[in-house]
Amino acid sequence: MSDAAILTLALPKGRLADQSIRLMAAAGLPQPGRNAGRRLVLASDDGQMRFILAKPVDVPTYVEYGAADVGVCGLDTLRESRRYVYEPLLLPFGHCRLSLAAPVTRPDLPLRYESQPRVATKYPNLTADFFRARGVNAEIIALNGSVELGPLVGLADLIVDLVETGDTLRENGLTEIRTIMHSQAVLIVNRAAYHLKAAAVHNLIDALRTAVENAAR
């Protein structure tokens, strides 16, 4: 098989990877072989595809640089990354929202320039955009996880984080005060691969699109 026919797909380790693999199966596409152990590069049983298991925030980087031809990531991660890739297909999982949240005891912090809130987040770019667009002089504190801790320990007044069920916010005494964006999984494609591997890329997109449409029926 020529290189132009073999696609490398970057999958985000974790929940989105499992759902992506289920969608690949439903679409009749190759999937990573079983018994992966801790290996991070896997071939499909039929050798038609290669899979990279990446940290979710790194998927847009692998795809923009062409280390992977295609990838699956959340729209939130993609927008935060500022990476330039094609995004031909939204996928029907990973639904959540990026929200601004405050302690339930202080949900009415005025969002004005002079309020100067300190905001903890894993999404410093999207958070800075949100406050800049509103003329609010926010101090953004970048964290790598468990952002809800910020207000609990006096590090931040507010947080910007993903909300799915809302349980994490509730259990930590926080409440949503604005929705910044809705997110879900998206298929992304390297811009050069989209043309140089056109047949393989378009077969993949078409098969996934059909599986997504069938699942919606």
Q: Which residues bind ligand PRP (CB under 6 A)?
A: 145-148, 161-168
Residue 49 or 169: which CB sits closer to ligand PRP?
169
Yes or no: say if 126 and 161 are a contact pair by the CB < 8 Å rule: no
Residue 83 or 122: which CB sits closer to ligand PRP?
122
Residue 17 or 193: which CB sits closer to ligand PRP?
17
- The per-residue b/e assignment along 86-120, b for 16 or more CB within 10 angstroms, e otherwise, is bebbebebbebbbbbbbbeeeeeeebeeeeebbbb
Q: Which residue has the tokens 């699956």?
A: 72
Yes or no: say if 189 and 63 are a contact pair by the CB < 8 Å rule: yes
What whole-number distance in Å separates Cα of residue 186 and Cα of residue 215? 16
> Residue 16 CB, nearest distance to ligand PRP (Å)?
11
> Residue 96 CB, nearest distance to ligand PRP (Å)?
7
> Residue 185 CB, nearest distance to ligand PRP (Å)?
14
> Residue 143 CB, nearest distance to ligand PRP (Å)?
9
Residue 26 or 163: which CB sits closer to ligand PRP?
163
